[in-house]
């Protein structure tokens, strides 16, 4: 019909960094709207002045996590997913469109930039729907920046927080850090997990933190559940397919050769939880022993696997804390 403008669907715009409950609310809203597309923003659509901006997940990972979530919730036949990184990506939308966003720095940039240009240059009459903020357990707005800072987790639960800066392991430093700083339970002497669990039951450490999929798996099979379990789904030989469960589960983003604030805060929270906790790392858990040793109480034990060797038992004491802190201080701070 002449004079009728064609709507171009519904576009949900968000970083989708550290996929959290606020993102889930947006996906629920999109599923109710016509021709919905969940758009992972990046590039010039990100905006400026975001806290810990350098720690935002790569756009490929954000898009993959979003696709996986939409598939798990059986919405993949309803909601499409794409990445948008340039203003021109939004200019290519023909006709009037509806844009769904949360108010914040990124959306302010998009509204005053690309969407304003669409109106002025293309003559379209877009509709912008700002979603009501989703609140974390502390009553404050849930946001990816707060998760990056270690204030809250992805479920909106309040964490203990941290003053630690993000750090990166220098090139060539990994081999040195892998040198055991505790007692080695060698595989050549028989299954190390049996002797480790026997020592746990004999010594009764205040808190046991197990790092690594194989270490966690073998200790669980000995009918012992560590207070904190840290896994990343990867072993020396490739993906580790076994799934773990716990009364409390956290997910953090911590790429290879770095330690981010959210890792410090979640590990500290898990140590002080009133139950057993599982920490799933998107990235790599190899350096998680540093926060574990520095945050656990005296007379605790940190366990990690030494590939082709066995399990290393690190007693948490003042001496090992000093070693961990000295090594940590050699890691440059990641400038934000």
Work out the average pLDDT over 84-90.
Answer: 89
- Our count of domains for the chain comes to 2
**175 and 318 co-located in one domain:** yes
Nearest-angstrom CA–CA distance, 202 and 224: 13
Assess whether pLDDT exceeds 60 at residue 161.
yes
**Rg from Cα positions in the chain:** 23
268 part of a folded domain: yes
> Where do we find the tokens 């109480």?
297
- Asked whether residue 334 is domain-assigned, the answer is no
Q: Does pLDDT of 166 surpass 90?
A: yes
Verify that 85 and 21 share a domain, yes or no.
yes
> Which residues, listed in sequence order, are joined to residue 184 by a DSSP beta bridge?
312
| Most confident stretch, 90-94, 123-127, 199-203, 324-328 | 199-203
Domain final residue pick, 117, 149, 181: 149
Q: What is the average pLDDT across 150-177?
A: 87
196, 98: one domain: no
Residue in 280, 240, 302, 255 with CA at minimum distance from that of residue 56:
255
Query: Given CA atoms 103, 251, 267, 330 in this order, what sign does their dihedral have?
Result: negative
Average pLDDT of the chain, as a whole number:
91
Task: Pick left, alpha or beta for residue 318 (phi over 0 → left; psi -120 to 50 → alpha; otherwise beta).
Answer: alpha
Within-domain flag for 157: no
pLDDT at 241: 85
- pLDDT of the residue at 49: 78
User: Are 84 and 224 in the same domain?
Assistant: no
Q: What is the structure's pLDDT at 172?
A: 64
Considering only 35-49, 95-109, 226-240, 303-317, which range has the smallest mean pLDDT?
95-109
Tell me, yes or no, whether 131 and 233 share the same domain: no
pLDDT tier for residue 178 given thresholds of 50, 70 and 90: very low
* Domain-ending residue, one of 149, 184, 204: 149
- 88 — pLDDT class (breaks 50, 70, 90): confident
Say what the pLDDT of residue 5 is: 42
Q: Which of 121, 149, 177 is the last residue of a domain?
A: 149
4: in domain = no
Question: Any idea what DSSP says for residue 135?
Answer: B
User: Do residue 143 and residue 270 come from a single domain?
Assistant: no
Bridge partners of residue 250, in order along the sequence: 279
Same domain? 277 vs 306: yes
Same structural domain, 274 and 317: yes
pTM: 0.92
Q: Residue 155: inside a domain, yes or no? A: no
Q: How far apart are CA 69 and CA 71, in angstroms?
A: 5
Statement: residue 77 has pLDDT above 90: yes
CB 246 within 8 A of CB 278: yes
User: Is 80 exceeded by the pLDDT of residue 227?
Assistant: yes
In which residue are the tokens 């059986």 written?
74
Q: Are 185 and 124 members of one domain?
A: no
CA distance 230 to 286: 10
Asked, for residue 96, whether it belongs to a domain, the answer is: yes
pLDDT digits (tens, 9 = 90+) for 110-134: 777 788 888 888 889 999 999 999 9
**For residue 107, what is the domain's CATH number?**
3.40.50.620
Q: Which domain holds residue 144?
A: 10-149
Check pLDDT > 50 for residue 303: yes
Same domain, 171 and 145: no
State whether 196 and 290 are in the same domain.
Answer: yes
pLDDT for 224 equals 98
For residue 177, being part of any structural domain is answered with yes
Measured in whole angstroms, how far is the alpha carbon of residue 31 from the centre of its chain?
A: 25
Residue whose C-alpha is closest to residue 264's, from 329, 167, 184, 186? 167
Residues 184 and 312 both lie in one domain: yes
Flag whether 160 is in a domain. no
């Amino acid at each position: 019909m002449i004079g009728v403008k064609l709507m171009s669907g519904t576009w949900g715009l968000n970083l989708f960094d550290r996929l959290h409950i606020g993102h889930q609310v947006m996906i629920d809203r999109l599923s109710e709207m016509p021709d919905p597309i969940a758009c992972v923003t990046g590039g010039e659509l990100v905006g400026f002045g975001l806290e810990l901006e350098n720690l935002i997940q790569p756009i490929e990972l954000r898009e993959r996590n979003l696709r996986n979530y939409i598939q798990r919730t059986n919405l993949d036949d309803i909601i499409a997913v794409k990445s948008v990184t340039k203003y021109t990506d939004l200019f290519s939308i023909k006709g009037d469109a509806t844009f769904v966003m949360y108010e914040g720095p990124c959306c302010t940039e998009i509204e005053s930039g690309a969407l304003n240009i669409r109106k002025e240059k293309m003559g379209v009459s877009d509709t912008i729907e700002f979603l009501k903020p989703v609140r974390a357990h502390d009553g404050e707005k849930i946001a990816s920046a707060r998760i990056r800072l270690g204030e809250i987790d992805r479920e909106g639960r309040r964490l203990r927080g941290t003053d630690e800066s993000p750090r990166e392991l220098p090139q060539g430093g990994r081999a040195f850090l892998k040198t055991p700083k505790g007692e080695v339970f060698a595989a050549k002497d028989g299954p190390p997990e049996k002797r480790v669990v026997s020592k746990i039951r004999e010594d009764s450490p205040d808190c046991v933190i197990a790092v690594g999929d194989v270490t966690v798996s073998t200790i669980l099979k000995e009918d012992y559940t560590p207070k904190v379990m840290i896994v990343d789904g990867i072993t020396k030989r490739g993906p580790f397919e076994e799934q773990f469960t716990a009364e409390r589960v956290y997910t953090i983003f911590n790429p290879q050769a770095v330690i981010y604030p959210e890792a410090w805060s979640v590990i500290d929270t898990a140590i002080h939880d009133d139950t057993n906790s599982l920490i799933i790392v998107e990235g790599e858990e190899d350096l998680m022993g540093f926060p574990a040793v520095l945050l656990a109480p005296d007379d605790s034990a940190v366990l990690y696997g030494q590939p082709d060797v066995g399990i290393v038992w690190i007693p948490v004491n003042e001496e090992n804390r000093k070693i961990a802190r000295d090594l940590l201080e050699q890691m440059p701070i990641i400038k934000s």
